[in-house]
Amino acid sequence: MANHNVRGWRRVVRAFGYSMKGFKACFELEEAFRQEIFLLIPLVPLGIWLGATPIERAMLVGSLLIVPIVELLNSAIEANVDRVGLERHELSGRAKDIASAAVFSSIAFCLVIWALILLPKWL
d(CA 85, CA 28): 22
pLDDT by residue (tens digit) across 11-60?
999 999 999 999 999 999 999 999 999 999 999 999 999 999 999 999 99
Tell me which of 1.20.210.10, 3.30.1490.20, 1.10.287.3610, 1.10.150.170 is the CATH number of domain 30-121: 1.10.287.3610
Detail the residues annotated as belonging to a binding site for substrate.
11, 32-36, 57, 71, 100
How much is the mean pLDDT over the chain? 94
The answer to whether residues 69 and 98 touch, using CB atoms and an 8 Å cutoff, is no
Detail the residues annotated as belonging to a binding site for ATP.
11, 18, 30, 78, 87-89, 96-97
3-class secondary structure per residue, the chain: CCCCCCCHHHHHHHHHHHHHHHHHHHHHHCHHHHHHHHHHHHHHHHHHHHCCCHHHHHHHHHHHHHHHHHHHHHHHHHHHHHHHCCCCCHHHHHHHHHHHHHHHHHHHHHHHHHHHHHHHHHC
What pTM does this model have? 0.87
- Whether 28 is catalytic is no
